[in-house]
A and B are shown apart, each in its own frame.
Chain A
Amino acid sequence: MPVFHVVVCGGLVPDPLQTLEPVQGPAGWGLKNESMLPAILDPWAASALFEADSLARANPGSRVWLVSAAPKAKLQQVLMALAQKAAFELVAVDAQAGGFSDAAECASALAAAVNSIAGLDRSRLLLFGGWESASRGAGATLAILGEMLGISEQFQGVDQASPKPDGSLEILERVEGGRHQVSLLSAPPALLGWATGSLPEPPNNPQVGMLNMRSAMPALQKAAPSRLTGGGLALSSVELPSQRRDTRVVKDMPEDQVAREIVEWIAEK
């Protein structure tokens, strides 16, 4: 049975049900009331964490770390819910890493955190994360981090990673046209940027939560502060699109007429 050391990298993002508005402050662009907005673990990174947890449980002896660069207080809030969903050891970096930060700069902060993990066996390393964040949406941070850590096998848009008894993994990556590219990775180390994966969100497990929090609280306390300064990214403007349409709400129209309107509309060039 193979043993994996899975490091999951995931930032925090505002709950997608919130309304977001860009504002320019002395430190550059950010979101209005950013510190007040309820946050969640970046959704695709959350898929990665759930997949890591499942992989570790199926392969005894494996370990999972969650590396997150986020404001400490926010991370603590998010952990309250997240810690019940999957078992992990937290490595926290106290940093404000939102949508307007630079991917390479963020990757440097994460690299320092990964390099500080005691007991991490690089020959067993699977570096996980979301293939794109819900903030920058660049698909760059993880790849640059992989490069900094010297990981030569990288996969993006991963929906499945199935280990074989010999330690190899079959990996499915999203490609165009709703298909997957299937690859066989003979052995770790490797980087996997996850898309949705194939697991539902796990139910809450208070016991796992208690265990996680016991190690997470000291990790939060000793979170190294990291000041991200923008990494040379200049943003001359950020604005909300003028997105409100003048919706025509059609009530009480017979289905036949609705259908005719739709068919005509489809045919319009």
Chain B
Amino acid sequence: METILLLVAAEEDGGLGKPALEAATAARELAARLEGAKLLAGIFGAQAGRAGAALAGAGFGEALLVEHESLARARFATDAAACQALVAASGASLVLAPATSRLQRVLAAVSARCRGAVDTHATALGAESGAVHATRWFYRQRMVGRVSRERRPWFLSLEPGVFAPHAASGDLVSRPVPAPLPESRTRVEGLRSPSSGAQTIRPDAPLLFVAGAGWCKKQADGLAHVSEAERLILGFLGKSGASLGGSKSVVDQKGEGGALSFLTHLNQVGQTGSTPRHAKGLATCCHGEEPHTVGWRFVSGRRAVNLDANCGWAQGKADVLYVADAFKVMARVNELLAG
């Protein structure tokens, strides 16, 4: 019989982020498929007590809490100690957590402390005859496998954007758990946005707009038009609310002159970049090579604009490839969006 612990971090305001609420749904659904499974929540943070309410109605027996000032911000030493205490107090055999930066930072280390096993970035959970399995991707989203383990506790982190977020109803009883939090040599100073200041990465946007190196290349007139490219792209982001991704080639141009000033490595999509989740993606001036398109695994609808009819997108990677000049197309798109 499994005891499932959902491990989440309270936000600074005492709420729970969307990935945590999605993981709550995953935990509830899994518990429903396992006869006699016990479901508990473990919440840590400076406002852990307030966060419990967001999990009410998901079938949790109770919420275990580690609440302390020093957990206001993500930091390995203190977060790991809090998680370890929650796992120990719960007696969990399965520990589920959202694959956020905060939980991913500590989950594997905590699994080692608890003499358990860990698998991360699961995109589905299932159970057959009482045996739990998880689906995850290998080789940067190139292949998908189904994993299971005998060892307990088994820690699994869940990819954001897969499950529907839980909507709270009713109450959830909570119980504080003592956790000795260690001294740390790390002082968290705060968050920093990329120097350009423009907030271009929007994980919740329905549309991903990808800029490729073509935006900075010489065009038919023999000249590069980087400032026009910047104006068109930022104009489109402003009007559409899309999130901005880039190919490796375009983000690597940073600092070499003639680069798109608002792009950083954080925008990079692909093998050595991110694998964002959006309903649709529009690639422009990007060749669609495999190390780039592996980052599109979780983008459902895909269209591309490229001058080259033989680019990678034409090889079964996009639904539609428009063989056209992205400068002209995006200028017109912006006009149409402006109404």
Residues of A within 8 A of B (CB): 13-14, 16-17, 19-22, 29, 31, 43-44, 99-100, 102-104, 107, 134-141, 143-144, 146-148, 152-157, 159, 170, 172-187, 190, 195-196, 200, 231-241, 243-253, 255-256, 258-263, 265-266
Contacts and interface: CB of A to CB of B under 8 A. Distances in A.
Interface stretch (B33-41, B50-58, B64-72, B314-322): B314-322
Given A178-B200, A179-B191, A240-B143, A144 B108 contact: yes
Contacts of B315: 247
Give the one of A99, A263, A266 with max B CB within 10 A: A266
A147 B188 CA distance: 21
Contacts of B147: 233-236
A263 B240 CA distance: 9
B146 A236 contact: yes
Given A177-B201, A249-B321, A29 B145 contact: yes
B203 A176 contact: yes
B102 to A, nearest CB: 8
Question: Which secondary structure characterizes the binding site on chain B?
Answer: mixed
Contacts of B89: none
Question: Which secondary structure characterizes the binding site on chain A?
Answer: mixed
Nearest to B74: A181
B332 A259 contact: yes
A22 B143 contact: yes
Nearest to A22: B143
Interface stretch (B162-170, B171-179, B221-229, B295-303): B295-303
B217 interface: no
B316 A138 contact: no
A247 B271 contact: no
B143 A138 contact: no
Contacts of B109: 143-144, 146-147, 154
Contacts of A200: 252
Contact of B191 (A138, A181, A195): A181
A134 B336 contact: no
B149 interface: yes
Interface in B123-158: 133, 137-151
B138 A153 contact: no
A182 B143 contact: no
B333 A263 contact: yes
Given A236-B133, A263-B336, A185 B303 contact: no
A80 to B, nearest CB: 22
B265 A135 contact: no
A155 B143 CA distance: 28
A233 B200 CA distance: 39
Contacts of B121: 137-139
B194 interface: yes
B15 interface: no
B85 to A, nearest CB: 16
Contacts of B309: 249, 251
B93 interface: no
Interface in B287-325: 289-291, 294, 297, 301-303, 305, 309, 313-325
B192 A180 contact: yes
Contact of B266 (A156, A174, A241): A174
B118 A245 contact: no
A168 B302 CA distance: 46
Contacts of B106: 143, 154
Contacts of A265: 280, 301, 303
Contacts of A184: 186-187, 189
Contacts of B120: 138-140
A153 B76 contact: yes
A244 B119 CA distance: 28
A232 B150 contact: yes
Contacts of B280: 265-266
Given A137-B138, A239-B144, A262-B282, 14 more contacts: A16-B290, A134-B271, A137-B121, A139-B108, A143-B105, A147-B112, A155-B76, A159-B265, A172-B192, A234-B148, A237-B145, A239-B143, A249-B314, A266-B240
Nearest to A178: B201
Nearest to A187: B185
Contacts of A234: 147-150
Interface in B72-90: 73-77, 80
Contact of B302 (A186, A195, A245): A245
Give the one of B101, B271, B290, B297 with max A CB within 10 A: B101
Contacts of A250: 320-324
Contacts of B318: 245, 247
29 contacts: A16-B271, A17-B289, A17-B290, A21-B143, A22-B143, A104-B117, A134-B272, A144-B111, A147-B113, A153-B184, A177-B199, A177-B202, A179-B266, A180-B191, A183-B186, A184-B189, A186-B185, A234-B150, A235-B147, A238-B138, A240-B144, A241-B144, A243-B317, A247-B315, A250-B324, A258-B324, A259-B330, A263-B333, A265-B303
A178 B266 contact: yes
Given A138-B108, A183-B75, A196-B272, A152 B203 contact: no
A183 B321 contact: no
Given A104-B118, A232-B117, A253-B322, A237 B138 contact: no
Nearest to B157: A139
B257 interface: no
Nearest to B135: A237
A170 B323 CA distance: 46
Contact of B291 (A16, A99, A147): A16
Contacts of A186: 185-187
